[in-house]
Amino acid sequence: MTASEAKKKIQELTEKINFHNDLYYQKNQSELSDFEFDQLLEQLSGLEKEFPELKLPDSPTQRVGGAITKTFPSMVHQYPMLSLGNTYSQQELEDFDGRVAKGLDGDPYEYFCELKFDGVSISLIYENGLLVKGITRGDGVRGDDVIANVKTIRTLPLKIKGKNIPARFEVRGEVFLPKNVFKQLNKEREDIGEETYANARNTASGTLKMQDSAEVAKRKLDCYLYYLLGEDNNVHTHEDSIKKIEAWGFQVSPTYKKCKNISEVLTYIQGWEKKRTELPLETDGVVIKVNNLDQQDRLGFTAKSPRWAIAYKYKSESTSTRLNGITYQVGRTGAVTPVAELEPVLLAGTTVKRASLHNANEIARLDLRIGDFVFVEKGGEIIPKVTSVDLSKRKGNSKQVEYISECPQCGTKLIRHEGEANHYCPNESGCPPQIKGRIEHFIQRKAMDIDSLGEKTIEQLYDLGLVKTPADLYTLKKEAVLNLEGFKELSTKNLLAGIEASKSAPFESVLFAIGIRFVGKTVAEKLARHFKTIDQLSNATYEQLIEAPEVGEKIALSVFTFFRNSENQQEIAKLKKAGLKFESEFKEPEKISTALAGKSFVISGTFQNYERDHLKDIIVAHGGKVLSSVSAKLDFLLAGENMGPAKREKAEALGVKIISEEEFDEKLKEAGV
């Protein structure tokens, strides 16, 4: 394809994908299947890799990330990002209203109410319709430009279409992790033995600061906008701004309302007190703004916050109850979670009996004693938390809680790795909840997808000694299943058919299913593609593992150790015998040219314009070979940023040519690609 053909095609694809993206994320409609959409995106991504200089600033490929930012540039906010005064009572709100009335010399005014979203504030700068900067609040005067990460937020327009768009404007809002996304993220982390995140807000904040935007894209951040700034916006009220922001394609929470006076504001506040828990994100109050922008100017600012706005914070409902005891749950990975057993108490409409205490540090922080009266709170989240102890009610003879030292399920001595908050039961092969948990992990949708098997059935199969490891599922006899509680002819047939059908699950699903710690679905996909067969993965050295995409030291060590365990090897042998897939069906990309024929490359470090996988595809597509370790036979070491010094030294000692990303691009050009 010539450059001018590519330019046209890139433009066409960019427009088409952006159109369908907006249709999906802003109008909730879809005209393309996910597959068709991904195909277009892949086509565009391929062309952009070939012609990087033709990539458009609003390219939708930025949504999937890839750019690595080592340090985020610090920027001064054109308009400082102030905070809001907080109130907790009707009286304080009425006082605020009194100050507004006085400040406006008796002129009539209206309010505009919005919920207070519990996320991370962000300031977005658009120039000539294009999103150019995404700056965090920082200290209010200076923040960090995290634009590559911001661009992964699918509901944010990368380019504003329409007439009379100001040459420059700024729009502010709140970046958040929707509740369901946060829950799913934690489930996935629990699944691979990572510690779970404590709350959605801090996780959103941490995510915005991640260096690898591809990781950010996977987290599925979202954003509500609520503030328009700039000189030429041609708006007279806050309501105008919100309508304009909406018309430009930004996402605005539909919960706002214009209120004629403070009494309508109070009705709005009451109306959302309970209902807000049904919203897709956490909220912690209501923001009340004077609607007219001239009036906002007249009221002005104090040193810290505007006089024309205030935040009403909902009190999280809290009550006190007796801590009857602490029990300990053991998960699939052996992680132990302490749970507070409470004297049942009514809180925000439900009876609370238990609350998670997370880990030993949390128990120590709260300085809990059995018999204490503890304050239990239910904020925006559904799960109650223990926030503190009512010391006035503490009995003199109470003793500090001693954390268990043995597994409550199998009696094995617990261990705690340095730097980790959780205790673990190391008895992987003999601890019942770990075994059952592994089978549950194995059958889940993203793994072997055996939906005819549920938690209850697994429990029965395990308790009866019929299934001790996932491989036992494949030798289950019809008679044995028929004997299970609740099983008849048809349900037995379905269960066995589900198990049989799982044999066609692809290698990457099997690799995820066998439950190697820290190997989630994405890592399993990368490993399957990189090593192709279980035998090659199993025989890989630590050095070879660390060379694979997405694999860092923690994962490499975990995979290496997993395959050195004879029980794991036996299990794999049984699964192989049962007929599961242990070979990747991934097809190498089609050959485009022979420009790199006979040349071998090792790719190391991180790159500005490419993901490692893509570099590999390009090299292979042009006839080259990608190797994992440096040897005298190697032609090129393609060196990105942060490449390990050992690799460079070895290449230098062996006289292997080291080339940069730019030199690689040159090489392709020279070869006429």
Residue with tokens 């109650």: 384
Whole-number minimum distance, CB 289 to ligand IVH, in Å? 7
CA distance 290 to 113: 9
Give me the residues paired with residue 413 across strands: 406
117 contacts ligand IVH (rule: CB under 6 A) = yes
Identify the active-site residue in 49, 116, 378, 667: 116
Known catalytic residue: 657?
Answer: no
Whole-number minimum distance, CB 65 to ligand IVH, in Å? 24
CA-closest candidate to residue 148, choices 170, 168, 132, 160: 132
The token pair that represents 639 in the structure block:
């060196």
- Output 77 or 116, the one with its CB closest to ligand IVH: 116
The answer to whether 155 and 222 have CB atoms below 8 angstroms apart is yes
Number of residues that bind ligand IVH (CB under 6 A): 14
- Output 66 or 119, the one with its CB closest to ligand IVH: 119
135 contacts ligand IVH (rule: CB under 6 A) = no
Site string for ligand IVH, 532-561 (x = CB under 6 A): ------------------------------
Half-sphere exposure of 165 (CA within 13 A, CB side): 19
Q: Which of 174, 525, 550, 571 binds ligand IVH (CB under 6 A)?
A: 174
Binding residues among 287-346 for ligand IVH as defined by CB under 6 A: 287, 306, 309, 311
- Output 314 or 601, the one with its CB closest to ligand IVH: 314
- Output 147 or 286, the one with its CB closest to ligand IVH: 286
517 contacts ligand IVH (rule: CB under 6 A) = no
CA torsion angle for 192, 196, 197, 203 (degrees, to 10)? 0
Whole-number minimum distance, CB 24 to ligand IVH, in Å? 25
CA distance 229 to 78: 10
- Output 287 or 620, the one with its CB closest to ligand IVH: 287
Whole-number minimum distance, CB 130 to ligand IVH, in Å? 24
Side chain identity at 188, as an amino acid letter? E
84 contacts ligand IVH (rule: CB under 6 A) = yes
Give the 3-state secondary structure of residue 462. Answer: helix
121 contacts ligand IVH (rule: CB under 6 A) = yes
Phi and psi at residue 303, in whole multiples of 5°?
-60, -30
Binding residues among 177-196 for ligand IVH as defined by CB under 6 A: none
Q: Which of 111, 169, 226, 268 binds ligand IVH (CB under 6 A)?
A: 226
Only segment of 77-85, 487-495, 544-552, 646-654 that touches ligand IVH (CB under 6 A):
77-85
Give me the residues paired with residue 601 across strands: 626, 636
The token pair that represents 6 in the structure block:
């590519």
116 contacts ligand IVH (rule: CB under 6 A) = yes
Whole-number minimum distance, CB 498 to ligand IVH, in Å? 46
CA-closest candidate to residue 481, choices 504, 505, 453, 455: 453
Whole-number minimum distance, CB 423 to ligand IVH, in Å? 37
**Under the phi-then-psi rule, with left for phi > 0, alpha for psi from -120 to 50, and beta for the rest, what region is 329?**
beta
170 contacts ligand IVH (rule: CB under 6 A) = no
Which sign, positive or negative, has the C-alpha torsion 453, 455, 461, 462?
Answer: positive
Binding residues among 258-297 for ligand IVH as defined by CB under 6 A: 287
248 contacts ligand IVH (rule: CB under 6 A) = no
227 contacts ligand IVH (rule: CB under 6 A) = yes
- Output 174 or 617, the one with its CB closest to ligand IVH: 174
Output the residue with the shortest Cβ distance to ligand IVH: 121
578 contacts ligand IVH (rule: CB under 6 A) = no
Q: Give Cβ neighbours of residue 233 (< 8 Å, ≥ 6 apart).
A: 166, 169, 241, 244
- Output 176 or 601, the one with its CB closest to ligand IVH: 176
CA distance 520 to 512: 6
Q: Which of 32, 82, 505, 627 binds ligand IVH (CB under 6 A)?
A: 82
- Output 83 or 539, the one with its CB closest to ligand IVH: 83
Phi and psi at residue 170, in whole multiples of 5°?
-125, 135
Whole-number minimum distance, CB 83 to ligand IVH, in Å? 4
Supply the DSSP symbol for 447.
T
Side chain identity at 542, as an amino acid letter? Y
202 contacts ligand IVH (rule: CB under 6 A) = no
Only segment of 81-89, 144-152, 234-242, 512-520 that touches ligand IVH (CB under 6 A):
81-89
- Output 121 or 469, the one with its CB closest to ligand IVH: 121
Number of DSSP helices (H) and strands (E) in the chain, helices first = 24, 21
CA-closest candidate to residue 556, choices 581, 530, 533: 530
CA distance 349 to 351: 7
CA distance 489 to 565: 39
The answer to whether 286 and 268 have CB atoms below 8 angstroms apart is yes
- Output 287 or 467, the one with its CB closest to ligand IVH: 287
Report the Cα 637 to chain-centroid distance in Å: 33
Q: Tell me how crowded residue 529 is: count the other CB atoms within 10 A of its CB.
A: 17
The answer to whether 125 and 135 have CB atoms below 8 angstroms apart is yes
83 contacts ligand IVH (rule: CB under 6 A) = yes
Whole-number minimum distance, CB 240 to ligand IVH, in Å? 16
Gyration radius of the chain's alpha carbons: 29
32 contacts ligand IVH (rule: CB under 6 A) = no
Question: What residues are annotated to the active site?
Answer: 116
Binding site for ligand IVH (CB under 6 A): 82-84, 114, 116-117, 121, 174, 226-227, 287, 306, 309, 311
